[in-house]
Every structure is written in C-alpha cells, then in structure tokens.
Structure 1
Amino acid sequence: MTAFKSEFLHTLNERGFIHQCSDPEGLDKLFCNETVTAYIGYDCTAPSVHVGNLVSMMILHWMQKTGHRPIALMGGGTTMVGDPSGRDESRLLLTPEKIQSNKDSIREIFSKLLTFGDGPTDAVQEDNANWLLDLNYVEFLRDIGSKFSVNQMLARDAVRLRLEREQALSFLEFNYMILQAYDYTVLNKKYNCKLQMGGSDQWGNIVSGIDLCRRMNGVETYGVTVPLITKSDGSKMGKSVDGAVWLRADMYSPYDYWQFWRNVSDADVGRFLRLYTTMPMDEVRRLEALEGNELNEAKKILATEATALIHSRADAEQAAETARKTFEEGLGATANLPTIEIAKSDLEAGMGILSAFVTAGLAKSNGDARRSIKGGALKINDATVSDDSTSLGLEDVNQDGVIKLSMGKKKHVLLKLA
C-alpha cells in the first residue's frame, strides 16, 4: 500500500478508493502544499444517479471533508452525445428538455454529501452545457481536434473494445473523449482545477484531458480513478433484482435502500463500510472482524449508516425499526412499509394475484410472479400463495386496512384502498 502524506489521498487509499493515479508522488505533494480543486463528471441520462455512481460521489465528499474544493460537473452538454465507455451499444439520445429535467433532479442529491457555496472549500456545481453548446464546430476542430491523434483515440479501451466486438460506434460517440478532455481545460482555466477523477472506465478520457491541459494551458494536471465496484458474487454494484438502486427516495424508497445494504453478502461488509459510510476506520475494522450472527449486526449498521448518508438519519432509523418489527413481530407491525394505493373497485371486481405482485413492484411480470409462486416465495398477509389463478378481494384487507404482499422474508409492500 502506498504511504501517502496528504490526508485526502491517505483516506482514499485506506478506504479502498484508488485504482489508478497518473502521478502518485506529484499529486500527494500537491495536496500537501495547497487547497486543491478537482472534479468528477456526471451525465444526465436519468432523473437520479444510483448506487453505482455513489463511490465517486463519496470521493468528492472526502475531498471536501479533508479541506479541498470539489466540483460536481453536470453533463448537460455531453449527455447530448453519449459516453461509449463501458457500453456495448449506443445510448439513446435524449431531448434537451429531458436532459434539463434530469439535471435539475440530480442536483438535489449532491447536497446530501456536499456543502455548496462561495468559500475556498465549498463545493461547486457546473454544467458543461455552458461551454459545449456554444462551440463553433469548425473552430473547435481546428483548435481542439488538431491536438488529438486518431491512432491514440482508437487505442482507448472505450473505443477499442467496441471495435474489437464489431459493435457500432457512432462518430458522435467517438467525439466524446475530446469533449470530456475539453471540459478539463475549461475547468482548469476557470477554477484552477488540477485533478479529474472518475470510474476506471474513464481512464482513457482522463489521460486525454491531462494531455490537452498540458498542450492548451501549459499546466501539469492529474488523474485518479476508482475501481469498478462489484459484489462478491461478481454482479454489478448499483443493481438489485428489481433494477437500479436509485438515490432519490421517490424512485427507490429509504426502506428498500436500507434493505439493499442489509442484504449484502458477508464478504462485502467490510469493503462497503469503507466505501459507503464515513465511519472511523477503527470501528470499520472491528465490525468486519465479526462472525456468524454478530456479522448480521454489522450489516444492520452498514444499512443504517449508508441510508442516513443519502436520505436522513430519521429515515434510516425508521427503516431499521420497520424491518425489526416486520421480521420479529409479523403482520401487525406494518405501518412504515412501502404502500401503494389501489381502487376499491379493483378489489370488488377481483384483482388477479399475478397482477397484484407486478403492481406492487415485487415481480417484473406475470411470468416472474408465477415462477415465484411455484418456488413458494410469495405471500399474502403472511400466508404462502400456492395458486396463481386466485384473486384478491375486499375480504383480504386485514385489520390494519391493508393487504400485505411479501416476496421472500425481506421484501414487503402494502396495498391500501385509495
């Protein structure tokens, strides 16, 4: 393990954030000698970022916490192009209106981890649409494009892998690394930004930005990437059985978010405590050393701390208490479970079991629900469902005025009459 002298890089290294660094010694010296400004870019392809983005967001958090200035760059301009990195196919192109809507939605999430303002270490939110959308194409080709080697661009992983697999790569996407490199030069001039960070799939783009800053601005800049975070089973971080684990409460409830962290495998507990909480390392080491049933307590602490960071301490504690009551006390303790309203007429007419579980988000399709029933995984009011042809009616509404649907032991949704 590299022995960094600066608090920021020492923290990143100790907690497992660093995958690649363009010049470890030079960057460490920079962080020891001045207040450093660094950025990470986020394209606006959805109304929320998800757990897969969280590891890079945590780096910005630690940067500010150790006395430096982070920039969260919104990709209002680059989202119109689409990043080919880590993808086998082109992204769908979004309208400017949809990109703006996504951007406004995403901005709210960053305030959970960063303090924005005008001070020397206050975080900055920028948008590359401010400079990319006004570029003159011919001037850009002459002034910026002339500094790029097509040979080097073809060798970058994001491009090379697509070509090796004989998968389509549009000229629009091919330009992405030039635009990202140009972002770095603009932020370097405007904010004296000397470090770009991002996921390991961004290494080629970051190196291109370092080179362009040297050529255009005559300055030495740096790059750091974080490792691709996967679970111990090899699955991609940020995904659950139901899809992406979003960081917006209206897209993925705090209760479900808590459950996502509670259900991680034993092998992931220590690593995720390092990456996704701000708990002191001594406590992290104590918790990851636990075994057996005691390790389940560490998982609950991970779930509560991770949820408090993105939602709130109250949301986290409520989710933990709801989970405890649901599993320990059964049917009667359901007040804080996710709830979906349904029309009384739906129950009067008879609501099919399969469609009920799809409506509740506990199954992706009728076929998925049918398979779960065959496996004995679905329950209604804590009673296992065995017949996929039955229907829910008003008689299934329990004493709390709801119908409790369950998938396995840990996923529950209430159907409530509107």
Structure 2
Amino acid sequence: MNFVEELRWRGMLHDIMPGTEDLLNKGMVSGYIGFDPTADSLHVGSLAQIMTMIHFQRAGHKPFALVGGATGMVGDPSGKSQERNLLSEDVLQLNLAGIKSQLEKFLDFDCGANSAQMVNNYDWFKDFTFLDFIREVGKHITVNYMMAKDSVKKRLEGETGMSFTEFTYQLVQGYDFYYLWKNHNCALQMGGSDQWGNIVTGTELVRRKGVGEAFALTTQLIKKSDGTKFGKTEGGNIWLDAEKTSPYKFYQFWLNTSDADAKTYIRIFTLFDRETIEALEAEQDAAPHLRVLQKALAKDITIRVHGEAAYEKAIKSSEFLFGNIGIEFLSELNDDEVLALFEGVPNFNISQSELQQGINVVDLLAAHTAVFSSKGEAKKMIQGGGAAINKVKINSIEDVYNTDTLISGKYLVAQKGKKNYFLIIAG
C-alpha cells in the first residue's frame, strides 16, 4: 500500500513537502501527529488525523502519537480567534490518560518494528529552562520568519492581538519535531492543513539546528457541504467517549449525514477499499432514499469506536423510536442510556407515592405532566386513538396508571401521535 496515494484517492491530502513521497517509498519511515489534550477525550474532529495514522501504519511506517502535555499548557493559536485558558498539570495528566486509551483502539502498539508509540512532550520540556530554550531554540528562528506565518498575521490584525505565550507556540512545536527527529528518528510530521506553518517551523529547526532533513504532510480540514462546522451539533462536540456522547447519539450523528457529505466521509473515515466504496456509491445513486452510504458509514465508525454490542444497541434504540421494537427494550438500558436515548425529548417528573395510589390517565398527561396542554385536548386525542403509554394505545379516558406500569420501576413513555415522545420519570 502506498501511503500518499491512499490519501490522494480518499481526498485527504492537502499539502506535501517536496521529497516526502520519495522518502516514504524508500522504506519504513517514522512520523508523528500531535493531539491536543484540552479534554480527557478526543472528538470526531480528531478522527481524520487518527485515520491518517492508521493508513500510515498500514503502509508499513511507524506512527508516533504525540500528546501535548507541554503545548497544552500554552495553547495553539492556529485557527483560533482568541487565547485559550491554560490547563493545570493535574488536569492535563487526566486528559492524557483518557486520550491514550482511545488511541489504543485504533493503532497497533505491539506489532514489531512499526508498532505505534505514544510520547508526551511534557517529558522533555518539564526540565527545559527558559534560558536554555531561548539559547537552544530561539536563536535558530528569526522573528521575521515567525511573523510571516498566517496564524500569527491573522491574530495580530485582529482586535485581541496575541500574547507572547502564543507567539512562541510555533517554536515549542518546532522543537517537538527536532526532539523526535534526533531521539526517535522521526523524519515526518503530519497534521491538518491549519498546522502547515507550525510543521514547517519544525523542519526549519531540524535543518538549522540539527543540520538534517525533515518533511511535512498535511490533510484537508473536514468541512460540511452546507458550510457548518463538522463534528458539532446543537448539543456541542461529538466525543469518542461513550459517557460524553452516547453510542446511540454517535451513531445518529453519522446516520444523519447529508448525501453529499456521506460520499466524502465514507472515504475519509472508513477503511473500505475503493471497489467497496464505489459499489456503495452506485447503490446510493440508484436509491438515495435507502441511505446506503450513511448506514455503512455509521455502522463502521460506531463499531470501531464503541464496539459491536454498542452498535447493536444503537440500532435497537433507533428501531425503538422509529420502528417496531417494543417497550421492553428500555429495561435493557441503564439510566444514562435511557436519558441519552430521550435526549431532546420533553421529560417530566412525578412522585412515586402519587403514582402508587393510581392516577387517571387524563390527569397524568395534562395535570401531573404537560404532555397535553389541557384535559380537553388529552380526552380528544385519547378518544381519537392518537395517544399511547409504553407503546400501547390508551383505550379509555378512564384508564388508571400506577407504579406497576413503570418500566424498570422508574419510567413511563408517552406518545402523542406516532413521533412525539415524552419521558415521564417517577422519583
């Protein structure tokens, strides 16, 4: 497998320094990508770089995942309009542990010569004094060179300006490259296209300080066809951590991808070969309503991030809400999974003691909760056959519900029509 050609046909390649492809064709190359440790989980925005590393390793090269314990204490100005809050060492260590456990799902850390390796730049910066830094690094890169970078220009032209901390970030990242080049034979740094300036500073430092040669490669920044930011929803980031973003919500994120984006994402975020992808695209073009690409994409990524069992549960959750799976499915879920399933759905609380005595269905849906705006509306809907509790149509306005009706001793699911759900929680 040719690494660069793989990125090209998948539409991932953005910039590549002359000589990089020749280097990669000569034999195994060590290369790295840096990951931002500002949270204890990566999000789907990081997946493009993870996929780059997967392709790199599959092509026979050795990937280094650099988690920026030191650079996370500074903050990268690239693509940012204002300075980020600095993180404490304790928070950073917690974040590093979470990120490492996630990367181990994707990369092989025990496969011989090209085993993946994780490094933390805090290890070589923690005892590096400021005076040592400006002597060993600062003298090799001119201010004119640093000022010419787009990430610096944009911030200096903006209203907030740029702190000295952020201005020196490219030197810190550049030294990372030099350190890995010198100590781990890393000849290539990869990253998103917004990192080109920082990466090239590293190659320049290797040339000037190490009197050596290093190379750079960047991938396309992922954007949605409608211009909105990839990886964001109204609820915020889509995380790889199941506790931050449930597998059901994660699956739905990919399933709800537009047709245009699905054709892009299927190439970037899966390991399907070209023949498989082109066959899926042909199916999609012939019957767009079947959403073949979205289903294949969502299945593949959900299984690789969360596992087969989580994917199956996500499918059942979808069928519960939009298909024919019965109410008993709720008893298979824990409280967090139930709440995740009904995220964005109106929910109401009632007391166990009141419910134990029995509550008339009209009072339950229009007085104790606001499933219906009035008792009159509730009666009309029930008598018309348009209301259900626990996926069973309500037969009469005289029906009474009590704690025996609760699912898992805690939940009632009300429906107004087929698609309007309401979660009632008895506490």
- 1-structure distance, mates of 2:212, 2:92: 33
- 2-structure distance, mates of 1:65, 1:299: 25
- 1-structure distance, mates of 2:132, 2:118: 27
Assess if the C-alpha contact under 8 Å between 1:58 and 1:275 holds in 2.
yes
Assess if the C-alpha contact under 8 Å between 1:397 and 1:403 holds in 2.
yes
Distance 1:20 1:410, change over 3 A: farther
Distance 1:302 1:139, change over 3 A: same
Give the match for residue 3 of structure 2: 8
Give the match for residue 177 of structure 1: 170
Asked whether 1:403 is paired with 2:417, we answer: no
Give the match for residue 308 of structure 2: 313
Q: What is the aligned residue count?
A: 379
* Partner AA of 1:313 in structure 2: E
Give the match for residue 107 of structure 1: 100
- 1-structure distance, mates of 2:122, 2:419: 43
Alignment TM-score, normalising by the size of structure 2: 0.80
Give the match for residue 69 of structure 1: 62
Query: 3-state SS of the aligned residue for 2:227?
Result: coil
- Please, which of 191, 194, 206 is the counterpart of residue 187 of structure 2? 194
Per the TM alignment, residue 19 of structure 1 is displaced from its structure 2 partner at its CA by: 0.7
- 1-structure distance, mates of 2:181, 2:339: 48
- Segments of structure 2 that go 5 or more residues without pairing to the other structure are 341-346, 356-363, 371-386, 392-400
Give the match for residue 338 of structure 2: 339
Per the TM alignment, residue 322 of structure 1 is displaced from its structure 2 partner at its CA by: 2.8
- 2-structure distance, mates of 1:417, 1:164: 56
Query: 3-state SS of the aligned residue for 2:186?
Result: coil
Per the TM alignment, residue 313 of structure 1 is displaced from its structure 2 partner at its CA by: 2.4
Distance 1:213 1:404, change over 3 A: farther
Give the match for residue 386 of structure 1: none
Give the match for residue 367 of structure 1: none
Per the TM alignment, residue 227 of structure 1 is displaced from its structure 2 partner at its CA by: 1.2
Asked whether 1:167 is paired with 2:160, we answer: yes
Give the match for residue 86 of structure 2: 93
Distance 1:86 1:352, change over 3 A: farther
- 2-structure distance, mates of 1:409, 1:54: 36
Distance 1:414 1:124, change over 3 A: farther
Asked whether 1:137 is paired with 2:130, we answer: yes
- Please, which of 272, 276, 285 is the counterpart of residue 265 of structure 2? 272
Distance 1:189 1:317, change over 3 A: same
Which aligned pairs between 1:264-303 and structure 2 lie closer than 5 A? 264-289=257-282, 290-291=284-285, 292-303=287-298
Q: What is the CA deviation profile of residues 75-97 of structure 1, one whole-angstrom value per residue up to 9, with x for unaligned ones?
A: 00111111111111110111111
Q: What is the CA deviation profile of residues 124-171 of structure 1, one whole-angstrom value per residue up to 9, with x for unaligned ones?
A: 000000111211211210121011111221121111111112223111
Give the match for residue 262 of structure 1: 255
* Partner AA of 1:15 in structure 2: R
Query: 3-state SS of the aligned residue for 1:72?
Result: strand
Asked whether 1:248 is paired with 2:257, we answer: no
Query: 3-state SS of the aligned residue for 1:126?
Result: strand
Give the match for residue 209 of structure 1: 202
Q: CA RMSD in A?
A: 3.3
- 1-structure distance, mates of 2:124, 2:145: 25
Per the TM alignment, residue 8 of structure 1 is displaced from its structure 2 partner at its CA by: 1.0
- 2-structure distance, mates of 1:61, 1:352: 52
Asked whether 1:122 is paired with 2:121, we answer: no
Query: 3-state SS of the aligned residue for 1:114?
Result: coil
Distance 1:226 1:344, change over 3 A: same
Asked whether 1:304 is paired with 2:313, we answer: no
Distance 1:348 1:264, change over 3 A: farther
Assess if the C-alpha contact under 8 Å between 2:328 and 2:407 holds in 1.
no
- Please, which of 321, 326, 330 is the counterpart of residue 326 of structure 1? 321
- 2-structure distance, mates of 1:66, 1:103: 27
Distance 1:297 1:158, change over 3 A: same
Distance 1:266 1:182, change over 3 A: same
- 2-structure distance, mates of 1:415, 1:187: 56
Asked whether 1:18 is paired with 2:13, we answer: yes
Distance 1:381 1:48, change over 3 A: farther
* Partner AA of 2:149 in structure 1: R
State, as a whole percentage, how many aligned pairs show the same letter: 37
Query: 3-state SS of the aligned residue for 2:178?
Result: helix
Worse overlay, 110-119 or 278-287: 110-119
- Segments of structure 1 that go 5 or more residues without pairing to the other structure are 1-5, 358-378, 384-392
Give the match for residue 375 of structure 1: none
Q: What is the CA deviation profile of residues 381-412 of structure 1, one whole-angstrom value per residue up to 9, with x for unaligned ones?
A: 699xxxxxxxxx97896556523489x99998
- 1-structure distance, mates of 2:420, 2:115: 39
Give the match for residue 381 of structure 2: none
Asked whether 1:154 is paired with 2:147, we answer: yes
Distance 1:410 1:183, change over 3 A: farther
Alignment TM-score, normalising by the size of structure 1: 0.82
* Partner AA of 2:319 in structure 1: R
Query: 3-state SS of the aligned residue for 1:19?
Result: strand
Give the match for residue 390 of structure 1: none
Per the TM alignment, residue 317 of structure 1 is displaced from its structure 2 partner at its CA by: 2.9
Structure number, greater radius of gyration: 2
Asked whether 1:27 is paired with 2:7, we answer: no
Query: 3-state SS of the aligned residue for 2:412?
Result: strand
- 2-structure distance, mates of 1:227, 1:180: 20
- 2-structure distance, mates of 1:412, 1:66: 48
Worse overlay, 8-17 or 340-349: 340-349
Query: 3-state SS of the aligned residue for 1:138?
Result: helix
